[in-house]
Amino acid sequence: MIIQALAGIILGLAVFGALMWSGYRAALTEGAVRYVNAALSVSTLLGMVAVTNNWPGPALIVGLGCALLGLIAVRYEAGWSRLLPLMQAIFGGALTIGLPWMGG
């Protein structure tokens, strides 16, 4: 149980950092990079809202979008910063399979 909680905290910190990076990229870039990062930021925020409010149904839809947009955003990044949208894609995958609601 403690390992699961620590893993959740670490993933949450990584996703929050990635959200800040996506917001930065959406504000300061142009073209497709801007649109993908803006949509990724919104889908990540909606995923956080779904987890906070315990909404597994909407989290499934938002998770699919977050996973897809995260993988698309990886294509536009270079170097270590590819890990940040990848964290958001992992978060989307976790929402899609219902991982936040599997605990007990």
Q: Answer yes or no: is pLDDT of 103 > 80.
A: no
Query: Is the pTM for the entire model greater than 0.95?
Result: no
Rounded CA gap, 31 and 21, in Å? Answer: 17
Model pLDDT, residue 31: 95
**Residue span of the structural domain in which 42 resides:** 2-101
Q: Answer yes or no: is pLDDT of 104 > 60.
A: no
Give the pair of three-digit tokens for residue 89.
């894609």
Give the pair of three-digit tokens for residue 6.
């620590």
Give the pair of three-digit tokens for residue 83.
């890990």
Closest CA to 91 of 50, 32, 30, 44: 44
Q: Look at the chain and report how many structural domains it folds into.
A: 1
Q: Answer yes or no: is pLDDT of 102 > 90.
A: no
